[in-house]
Amino acid sequence: MTERTPIELPITRVTAFEDRAELARVRTLTLEAGLNRLVARGLTPLTHAAHLGATLPGGRVERLRLVRRHDGRGGADAERVQGALQAMHAAEDALAAACARRTRAEHRRRAAEQVLARYADRLAATAWQPDAAPAAWDDNLSTLERLVDDATDALRDARLAEAEAEAALNRQAAQVDVVTAHQPRPVCDLEIDLWAEAAGEATLTVRGLVPCALWRPSHEAHLRDDSAVDWTTYATVWQATGEDWRDVELVLSTDRPGAGAELPPLGADRLRLQPKAEKKKVVLQHRSEAARKDDGRDAVPGVYDGGEPRRLSPDGPVSVPSDGRPHKVAVGGFRSSATVARVCRAELAPHVFWRVALTNAGATPILAGPVTLLRDGAWVGVADVVYVGAGEHFEQSFGSDDRWSVRARRLRRTEDRLLGRDRTHFVTEVELTWAGADTGAVELTLRLPVSELRALKVVPSEKWCSEGPPRADEDGLVHLPLRLAAGEVRTVSLGFTFDTSGDVVLPDPW
């Protein structure tokens, strides 16, 4: 049988999906006329023949065959690995014992210092008494100080032993890494039979789909001094395919190759008639509802792309080792002018937040994911962003302003009426304190219930609306712009009551 010619077939392009990756290997070969028998060694063991394909312009791919084997030495290596692991476990036990010894030494010194302090306090309190014995003071103090010194020496020795145990554990862990580097590992060899009509150069492309690779989007938003936001989109990539990706063209895709292409069957929709019943009483209930957003909550778990597949790519080649660790690469970004304001949703959180309104000025949508927030170069926190289309306006919180203090509470006020039953007013009271050196501005948002029935009306309580008649939007939100002087404390209230007919039963909204 003709010997196969070994060739190098490195990964040149990777398309990462949300739960797998497509590896493309492109190589220009010098072929002879007729049949060429080649072999590429050391491919990832996760390669599967069902997901493997090859193309050869100007020629023909006759056969692709995977041969699985173990690369490396066996026998003695397994014993070395076992010995190194046992030594590392022993070093871990020694470190745990050293930590426990250091903890006991810390407790001992703390106890000795407390006894010495209590004796000194008692001595100061009883020194003036007639039965005081000054001669015994020096002996007792010397004894207690000697106990503290001994405990300090023991703690120093325990910390030194802990450091030595930690260093020994690091040496044993490094030895395990050295030994396991020669441990046999499973690999694949790809045998390739190519047919060329004439001798010359041809480009071979081999593509395969492998598991144990995924990516997820993340973002970083930096609020600058000039009220502009630098937005950077990152892709965090994990892969443990058994083969490193070195200087590859990386494409991050939201396609779902594992999702079925078959439409789900439609169920029967049956209509039934039922006798009309006369309603005697209407029982209502309160419901809190937020505006519906396209945040992908009803979509398949994974990277939400708004229903349209997206592809992102970093600038230049990328290297991702097969270590299962997260590796972050930048895949886009933009700078947008922004409007910065302070807002307070006292009924939801007792804080005043920085609200930044900006526009997605990038050419691609912002995929839903976590956002690392920076303001003036300092880390603020981590938030979330929903799917934002290109050119779409959206808002992002940049943490709270700690110069504001907020306290909210809900109250019930009863109005005594001469005619008819008493009326209960439901009041939201918010106390704002501004501790800044200049005038502080904030937009306080409170809520009025929105009725969906004609039999129920929500009536603002003039007496309990401190900022005048409220102007609520269609969602019942009342936006109150406030300005407070330095050190000012202001109490804002918003009250309402219900006007219902006698056949309506309404529970307490608080």
SS3 434: strand
Instruction: Please tell me the predicted confidence (pLDDT) of residue 260.
Output: 60
**Cβ-based neighbour number of residue 406 at 10 Å:** 18
Mean per-residue pLDDT over the chain, rounded: 86
Instruction: Please tell me the predicted confidence (pLDDT) of residue 439.
Output: 93
Tell me the pLDDT band of 182, cut-offs 50, 70 and 90.
low
> Among candidates 38, 34, 30, 29, which has minimal Cα distance to 197?
34
**Cβ-based neighbour number of residue 344 at 10 Å:** 27
Tell me the pLDDT band of 284, cut-offs 50, 70 and 90.
low
Domain 404-505's class? mainly beta
Give the residue-averaged pLDDT of 64-88: 76
Q: No. of H helices and E strands in the chain? A: 2, 27
Residue 174 has pLDDT above 70, yes or no: yes
The Cα 69–Cα 57 span in angstroms is 31
Instruction: Please tell me the predicted confidence (pLDDT) of residue 340.
Output: 94
Which range (66-70, 71-75, 436-440, 449-453) has the least confidence? 71-75
Cβ(327)–Cβ(237) below 8 Å: yes
Tell me the pLDDT band of 76, cut-offs 50, 70 and 90.
very low
> Among candidates 37, 11, 7, 16, which has minimal Cα distance to 26?
11
Residue 74 has pLDDT above 50, yes or no: no
Instruction: Please tell me the predicted confidence (pLDDT) of residue 183.
Output: 60
Tens of pLDDT, residue by residue over 393-404, are 999 999 899 899
The Cα 345–Cα 351 span in angstroms is 8
Q: What does pTM read for this prediction?
A: 0.66
Task: Label the pairing between strands 5-7 and 59-71.
Answer: unpaired
Instruction: Please tell me the predicted confidence (pLDDT) of residue 454.
Output: 79
Tens of pLDDT, residue by residue over 6-41, are 999 999 999 999 889 999 999 999 999 999 999 999
Residue 279 has pLDDT above 60, yes or no: no
Q: Which tokens is 102 given?
A: 């250091």
The larger pLDDT score, comparing residue 495 to residue 455, is at 495
Give the residue-averaged pLDDT of 351-359: 94
The larger pLDDT score, comparing residue 407 to residue 138, is at 407
Residue 277 has pLDDT above 60, yes or no: no
**Cα 353 to the chain's mean position, in Å?**
21
DSSP string, 191-255: EEEEEESSSEEEEEEEEEEESSEEEEEEEEEEE-TTSEEEEEEEEEEEE-SSS-EEEEEEEEE--
Number of residues written out for the chain: 510
If you search the block for the tokens 């289309």, which residue do you land on? Answer: 389
Question: By percentage, how much of the chain surpasses pLDDT 70?
Answer: 87
Instruction: Please tell me the predicted confidence (pLDDT) of residue 286.
Output: 63
Instruction: Please tell me the predicted confidence (pLDDT) of residue 131.
Output: 65
Question: By percentage, how much of the chain surpasses pLDDT 90?
Answer: 55
| Cβ contacts of 202 within 8 Å, gap of 6 or more | 28, 29, 31, 56, 57, 58, 59, 194, 196
Ramachandran area for residue 120 (φ above 0: left; ψ -120 to 50: alpha; else beta): alpha
Residue 278 has pLDDT above 60, yes or no: no
